[in-house]
Structures are given as structure tokens and as C-alpha cells.
Structure 1
């Protein structure tokens, strides 16, 4: 799921970039190639017919990018627009420059104000990859033109672009640092809020004190070991794991803390907590993307779980990871109806459940990280 706010900000930045690009692109060409040559002292700089033909082709191609961009906006893929515009601009400029100046006695006098706009405004996307594309793309363009036309004056626009790129990089670097600081601050606040909510749940059932934190730590460790979640996704996954049992606030205390075996009716009430929990977090930005953790962490590999009875990989990966972490901590924690099992016994039961209760591939990864889980548990007990 895409973060809606980020998607909207990407759209706004792309629209601003497009307006700047097209306004400067056309105004520059109108002024430089049509108005300047009318001045008496610049009359001999007027381009010839070949240049106008090449210019027409270039402008036609650039205009054709507008419907392409609108299509990508409609498909919710605005992040691709800036790459398409810049790459097309660089390629068309490269071809026209080489075609016009190769073998010509005229000294190279091209370059475009659009390039300045592209470089200086590239930081608005807060994207290093795009910045590198713009910078190295422009430098490579001039190097290739220089190799073809063998004119040393090509070094001048190269130097100008390098200077502008340094300015843009300083801006981008400062923006990235600021964004990182805001992100860390937001993450700390979100974590504090989430743990506050968990503390409320633990007041209902003292036996589960620390359960959510340990499950979140185990799950994050296992998720990282799979290599299937990006580093940037792990924190939000962790917060969702902290809230995996939040739906239990809706379960009566008499059922939640019952020391004996639950009746069928009571168990059906317990089985509602994933649905209730998912409903509670569905609009929480930063956690809702991992709503499957809350809704599906009691699904089983063999399809005998709840609430939907999903089979195998029908259950999202994040929920399959959480299921192992949840089961392991539940077995190694003291509950109102039984004492904690030894870690070795819980380890054996997880292995026995591969292919039935748990994802076999994840159980193999669990075997690798099991020593880490022992360390996590000891550290948690030490801290608390």
C-alpha cells in the first residue's frame, strides 16, 4: 500500500517541476532563437533551416510527454514522470547538438536555461537517485557532445553544471537531514503512543505484561533475517506488531484472565480480537500499511486459523512472521491458565509446527535467529 500523503506530495512536486520545465523550455527557445536574432548586433547568430527542423522535432517529442505524464498521474505513478521528462530532454538535446555541430565550423554555443532549472530544482523531490541522474546525465551529455565535435569550449558548460550541482547537493543534503530528524521525532512519538496503548491493555491482563514488546522484537528480528522487508519498512512493521493484540481490549476481563479452559462461546469471543484490532488501526498512518499483522496473525499455514482461514501464502508475509513470534512468546510466558514452557520446548514446538501451523520457509529462518531471540528475551527481562 502506498502512503497517501507521500503520494500527494510527490504529485505536487512533480506538477510544480513540470510547470517550471515547460515554461522555461518554451520561453527560452522563443527568446534565444527567435527574438535575440532580431537584434542588429546578433543578426549573424540566427539558426539555419536544419536547426529549426531539429528544434521542431525536439519540441514535438517534449510536448508528447504531457499526455504520458497525465496517464502516469492517473495510474498513481507520479514518481516516474520526472525521470521520463529529464531522460527525454537529455537524449533529444544530445542528438540535436551532435547532429547540428558535428563537422560544423561554428563554435559550440548551445546549452539551455532548462538545465539550470532541472539541477537547481532537483532537491524538491528529496531523492538522491534523481539528483544523480540529473547531474551525471547532464555532464555525460556534454562529454559525449565534446567527443563528437572536438571543441574545448564544451568544458565551460560542464564546469557551470558542476558548480550548480554542488549548490543543489548542499540544498538536498540539508533537506535530507531535516527530514531524517523529523522522521526520527515522529517515530519516537508514535512508539511512545503505541506503548502507552499497550500499557492500557496490560492493565486488563497482567500476565501479558511485556508480551507485545517481545513479540515485536522477535518479529522484527525474524523479518530482517528474511531480507524481504526494506530497512525503511521495519519500524512501521515493529509498531504494528506492538499492537497485534490491541483488539483484546474488547474482550471481557473474566474471559481474558480465566484460569481454566475456555468454553466454545468464550473462545469465539476471543477470536474476534484480530478483527476488532484491525478496525481500530485502519486509519492510523504509518501502521495501517501493516494492518495484516493485526488482522491475520492467528492464521495458520494449513488454513485452520482465524479469522479468515487463509491457506499458505494467502496470509501476508508480515502476518506469517508475527504468528511465529506470537506463538513463541506465548509459550515461553506465564499465563493465568499455565506456567511458562522452557525455551527449548517452545523451540521444538515451533519446528514441529512447520507446514501445519507455520510457514516452513520462515521456520528455517527462525532456526537461524533463535539464539538472537534468547538474547532478546534475556535483555528484556534485565531491563524490566
Structure 2
């Protein structure tokens, strides 16, 4: 999935393998990697794998697990690439600036469309009534957060970008905590009483997820997800400015990540960390972990130059749109069973799931590797 690199001339691009590898590491769990923890727990009985399996489930409501990081990490990385590559449109000739803006609108529209396709969200089938279509989606949110962050990078100063990011986080906390609309809001952070429900019921077109009152990718929570991308922009911009001082860069990023985590968990005491509501505390916590992961990958891959293992994940990360859509449109479990069913049927408990999900991972990775070797990268 394109992350904004196309916004500057190719000779000025700075592509970091660590970013592609981290994006691939993020997508690895969607391919089926999350299922391996439970399988290895059955085999070994080790509490670590039991803990890992629990971390591979979304939080029921308030709280945070590792699986909750997958979505916001992807948005953050789109912002990092934007911060590395993009610059104000005023620095381009008018025709080039117009082309870049046109591409941004096109990318937003395609991601919203692909999100509908991923969700199989056309109700009882095509042709579908508008009321049956679920427009809200993960890909749609990625498109919205990236596009708004890109507009800010293209049209306003860095100072204004910071003001917008802080204003969104504080304003969202005030809105959810103190504003009441009908029977919703006023500090009610439940799935039935949060002010987000009012917005989804009044303004979200089409159907909601499982026809619930509140969609997990609903309207209002899109606003704070923009900050995940914006903070990624700030990190990417900082990285490209200090690339010649890797030790200083690494220590600074690690400190920023830790400070964001501390601030997020502290804010979570009064404004709960919640993925569905995408609360301001959730933004800070997820960006904190994202910065620490990026720091680790950057240190190991781009500074210490240990790139062999990174290529495994980069193969995934450089075709992320294929990865994500394929996980919904292709039954990889069926394919794995059809190829490895003989081994699965005679394997002991636990190992059956390892072979099944390991086969799914292998098959998907081989397809992506085939594309990678031929330099076929599907971008939006």
C-alpha cells in the first residue's frame, strides 16, 4: 500500500527497509500468525504462549492488548512515510501540485471502496440498497487519516500541524467527557451510551458492523485516528533530519516512545484506553508502542545492518494492500488443508494447528515473494 512516497521526485526519496519490515511484521499477524500462540500452548503448556494467545485478541472494551496495536501501527507508519517524503504543495510547479492532490483524492476513494469490498459489505448481494452497505471500514479509516494528515502537510506549517494534533486530542476528550446529545455522552464511555453512538446513528450512511448502535470504525473516532498519522509524520520528519546521528536518533525516539506511553496510561485513568472509541489515551499509548517498535527495527536493520531476516517481513510489507484484501477474499485455510491435509490428519493435537496456520503463512508469503522478485508492488 502506498504510504506517500509518490509525493516527491524519485531521486529525493529515502526508503528505509525498517519501515517496510515493520509494516510486514504488523501484517504478519493478520496472515494467521496470531493463531500460532494458542497452538504452541497446546504443545508445550508454557504460560508464555497462553499469554501470547490472550494478547492476540482484541480488548473486550476498555484496556489494551498487542492485537489492538495492529491497526493504529499501520496508520502511524503511513504517517512516517509521509513525513519522510512529502513537502508543501507550494514547493511544486502548479501542474505537479495538482497531480499530487488528485492522487490523494483518488487514494482516499479507492481505500474506502476496497474497505467495502473487504467487509463483503453489500448486504444481500449486488445490486444492493445503500442501507445494506457498510461503508465504515479499516481501509477507509486508513485512507481518511492519511489523507487529512497529507492535506495538513501539503497546506499548513509544522507549527499548525502540532496545534491541530494537540487540539484534536484535547477536544475529543472534552467532547466525550462533558458534552451531551440526547441520551448520549456526558462522560458515558460505554458501547451504548458514548456520544459516538449518536453520531453513528444520525450521520453514518448505510449499515453498522453487525447492526450494532456503534460501529468500531464509526464516524467520530476517525478524528483521533488522524493524530496517529500526524504523530507518524513528526517522527518521520525527525528521522530524516537526524539520520546522520543514529545514536542520538535512537535514544531520542526511545525517550519519545516511553514518554508517550507514560502520558497515555496516565490519561487513561480518567479517559479510558479504548480502541472502538479510539480515545485520546489510546492514541498516545499506541503511538508510544509504535515509536518503540520503529526504534527497534530501525536499530537492528538500518543501523546494525542485519537485513536478512528483515527481508522476510519486507516482502509482506511492500504489498500490504494485497495482504489485507487477500486475507478476506481468499480462503487460505481451505487451501492449506487441501495441500497439507494428510500431514494435519496424522499430527498430534496442537501440531495440527501449527501445520494448518503455518501452511497458510507459507502459501501467502510465497505469493508475495513471487511478486517481490518480479518487482510487482500493488499500490493505491
Q: TM-score higher than 0.5 here?
A: no
Larger radius of gyration: 1
**Bigger relative CO (Cα 8 Å, ≥ 6 apart):** 2
Q: TM-score, normalised by structure 1?
A: 0.29
The normalised TM-score by structure 2 is 0.29
